[in-house]
Amino acid sequence: MSHKQTPYSPNFPTSQGYSPPEEVNKKNESFPMQAEGGYPGPPPGPMLPPGAQPLPGMQSGFQPGLQPGFQPGFQPGFTPGYPQPQSGYPHPQAYNPPPIVQQPVPQGPVTIFTIYYLREYVSNKLCDLRYGGWMTIPQAPVNCPPGLEYLSMIDQLIVKENVDLLEAFVGYETNNKYTVKNSLGQMVYCAVEDSNCCSRNCCGPMRPFDMKIMDNFRNEVIHLNRPLACDSCWCPCWLQSIVVTAPPGTVVGSIEQVWSICRPSFVIKNASGDVVLRIKGPLFTYTFCGQRQFNVYSKDGEAKVGKITKNWSGLAREAFTDADNYGIKFPMDLDVRIKAVLLGACFLIDFMFFERGLPPVEGYGML
C-alpha cells in the first residue's frame, strides 16, 4: 500500500516515506535566503556622526581603537597636559574631640542640699531643652518702649526666684536673682537685684535696692528702684513704693502701698501719677501647702482683672531657702507699660511678705 507524500515535517521520519521538499529556485524573491555576492560594504571615507568634522590626520574608514571625534590616546573628561597630583600633600589629620567640661557640683558627702541642688539644675536644663530656651521676639506694637514687645503677646508671667547655695548653706543674704517666663516655659526676662552687703544683711527684707530686668541679649529693658521705707500699719506716712522705668530713665509707672490695718493694699499708677489699677492681698500670708493670691482690680476697686499668686514651692525649697515662685495674670490688651509695672509689683510683694530675714516677714497680714 502506498500513499501520497506529504510535506516534510520533523515529526514524521524519512523511513516511512517522508522526505524534505525540494528547494524551488525563487528568482523573484526580493529577499533571498542566501546572501548574494556583491553586497555593498561600508562607504569610503571616515565614519563620523552627522555634522561632525574629521580631525587632521584621520584616514578613510575605521581605524582600530579610534573613536570618531576623538584623538588617539585621548580620554574623555580629561584635558591633555593636565598636571598630575603632586606628592607632598599633607595626610588627613586625626580628629581630636574637645575635652568635656563638667558642670561643678557641690563636693563632699551627699546631703539633702546636694540632692536639691542637682534636682533644680536638671529641671532647669530639661526645661531649656524642651521649650527652646528664650521666647522669640514678637513684632513691636506702635509706641512700644524697646524691650517691652515681649509683653504685648502674653497674658501671664511666671516668676521664679533662683536658689543660691551660699544663702541656703550659710544664711548669708545675697542679691536675689529671678527668671521670668511665659506660660509655655520660655524665658522672657531675667532679673538681678543690685544692693550693697550692708543693706542686705542689716535691713533684711526692708532694704532699698535697684533691680535690673534684662532680655535675651542682656540689655536692660526695665529698671526698678525701691527706696528705704516702712511697711507697718503703725507708720502710715512712710510706706513702700517702687518706681518703674522702661527703658531705664523713662518713668512708665509706679507701685505705692496704701495704708490699711489688716490686708495689704497697693495702687498701680501710670507715668502721669493717675491710679489705673488696685491690688488687694489676703489677711494671712502663710503659704504652707497652699497659695496666696493678691487680686488685681480696676481703678474703682470693683472689677477683678488679674491676680498675683504666690505658689507653694515644695517642702525643701520653702524650708531651707527663700526662693519663691509667682504667677502674674493680666488682660491681654493691657498696656505693656502697666504690665511692666505689675511685674515690679510682684517683686515688691515678694520682698515685703515672703522674703526670709530677721525677723521673718511671712505671717499675719500688715501686722
Closest CA to 244 of 340, 172, 161, 165: 340
Cβ(246)–Cβ(252) below 8 Å: yes
73-101 average pLDDT score: 57
Q: Domains, the chain, ranges and CATH? A: 112-353 (2.40.160.200)
Over the stretch 14-27, which tens digit does the pLDDT of each residue have?
666 666 666 555 55
Among residues 209, 139, 138, 219, the alpha carbon closest in space to that of 173 is found at 209
This model's pTM is above 0.75: no
pLDDT at 46: 57
Coarse DSSP helix, strand, coil percentages of the chain, rounded to the nearest 5 percent: 20, 20, 60
pLDDT digits (tens, 9 = 90+) for 265-288: 999 999 999 999 999 999 887 766
Contact 263, 279 (CB under 8 A): no
DSSP letters for 200-265: HHHTGGG--EEEEEE-TT--EEEEEEE------TT-TTS--EEEEESSTTSEEEEEEEE--SSS-E
Assess whether pLDDT exceeds 90 at residue 165. no
Average pLDDT over residues 327-341: 96
Using alpha carbons only, what angle is made at residue 116 by residues 115 and 118, rounded to the nearest 5 degrees? Answer: 65
**pLDDT digit string, tens, across residues 182-216:** 999 899 999 999 999 888 888 888 899 999 999 98
Choice among 134-138, 249-253, 309-313, 351-355 with the minimum mean pLDDT: 309-313
Q: What is the pLDDT of residues 50-82, one digit of tens each?
A: 766 666 655 555 455 545 555 555 555 555 555
Burial 92-122 (b: 16+ CB within 10 A, else e): eeeeeeeeeeeeeeeeeeeeebeebbeebee
Question: What pLDDT score was predicted for residue 287?
Answer: 62
